[in-house]
Amino acid sequence: MHPVLSQVLPVAVFLLAITVTAEVAQLAGVFDVAAHALARRARHRVVLLWLTFAALAVVCTVVLSLDTTAVLLTPVGLAIASQTGVAPLPFALTTLWIANTGSLLLPVSNLTNLLAVHRFEDLGASHADYVRTAAAPALTAVVVTLVLIAVLQRRALRGTYAVEPPAEPHDRVLLVVASAVCLAIGPLFAVGVEPSVVAVGSSLVLLAALLWRAPGLLREVRPPWLMAGGFVVVAGLLRLAQGEGFLDWLAPAVGTGVRTIDLLHLSAASAIGANLVNNLPAYLLVEPAAADDVRRLMATLVGVNTGALVTPWASLATLLWLQRCRSAGLRIPLLKLAGWGAICATVCVVAATLAIR
């Protein structure tokens, strides 16, 4: 197999399989039951309800990827807000921003991370080294994001709610199997088992469980064939361009070195690139100039992940999130969203870059 395909195809397989895993988990009621259980334990305080939902969004993003949070958790958050009578915007904003800024910790949290892992390996760094390098920036980005949402949405997060949202009825066996699988894959990803193997295994187990307990729901599972195909084409072409040296001209724009100012320069340039052309091609464009040190690679990921909050096309998760919000009847003022996103992206990129060690 061509070296480019050997890098790109496992990522595409992971994307397909983890999406199937997440969709079956949603059909089984995992997200619905988890969110409503958290709501019932929030002591009728809006801020606690929001914090528990934010924690669920972080876990979902880290383990099942940012697109899963945008697609599957956004409707749950909006439904909880509607059923309890609280403002929906803090919950919508949380799913969007956490989906992006919370996607640093594990290689599986973002497709950009999975592509970067190959460069980490080329530098002699293991999966554990990746997690250690990403831990402080990832935690910093999540904390900064939640603090900013709390400040921007402070009025909406005050007060209490009287209604405890009821969870929808679900098949108990399917729910237990899907919950067990979701709980198992997180540690497997964390200890370094090949992501595509874990994702394929989990998707097969859940598809078998769905066929056993609710075969009629199989038609609602829609693997993202077009997205995966587009990823293979774009990533493959850019990887080939890297191999031929066609992207070397970008090196001066992102600088060199591993001083703090050098890393800030790199992460800022990466964030600008993500908002101009999307985070995936932005990472691949910048990568050749950052692949000489794990700290520079992490600064690039900080930029393209946590900085992709200004333009709607900066990440696929944002486009998916907008579609889910519109489907739920929530109109998002794009100019205000871009302004808030610019603030969050700037603070997150700077803070997370400063946390790189």
Please give the chain's pLDDT, 357 residues, in tens: 556 667 778 888 888 888 898 889 889 988 888 877 877 888 889 999 999 999 999 999 998 888 888 888 888 888 888 888 899 999 999 999 999 999 999 998 998 998 898 889 889 998 889 999 999 999 999 999 999 999 999 999 998 888 766 667 788 999 999 999 988 888 888 777 888 899 899 999 999 999 999 999 999 988 888 877 887 887 777 767 666 565 666 667 788 899 999 999 999 999 999 999 889 889 988 988 898 899 999 999 999 999 999 999 999 899 889 888 887 788 888 899 999 999 999 999 999 999 999
pLDDT for 166 = 66
Q: 296-319: buried (b, 16+ CB within 10 Å) or exposed (e) per residue?
A: bbbbbbbbbbbbbbbbeebbbbbe
Q: 221-260: buried (b, 16+ CB within 10 Å) or exposed (e) per residue?
A: beebeebbeebbeebbebbeebeeeebeeeeeebbeeeee
pTM of the model: 0.86
pLDDT for 168 = 72
pLDDT for 253 = 77
pLDDT for 112 = 93
pLDDT for 248 = 66
Q: Check: CB of residue 357 under 8 Å from CB of residue 137.
A: no
Give the pair of three-digit tokens for residue 224: 């993202």
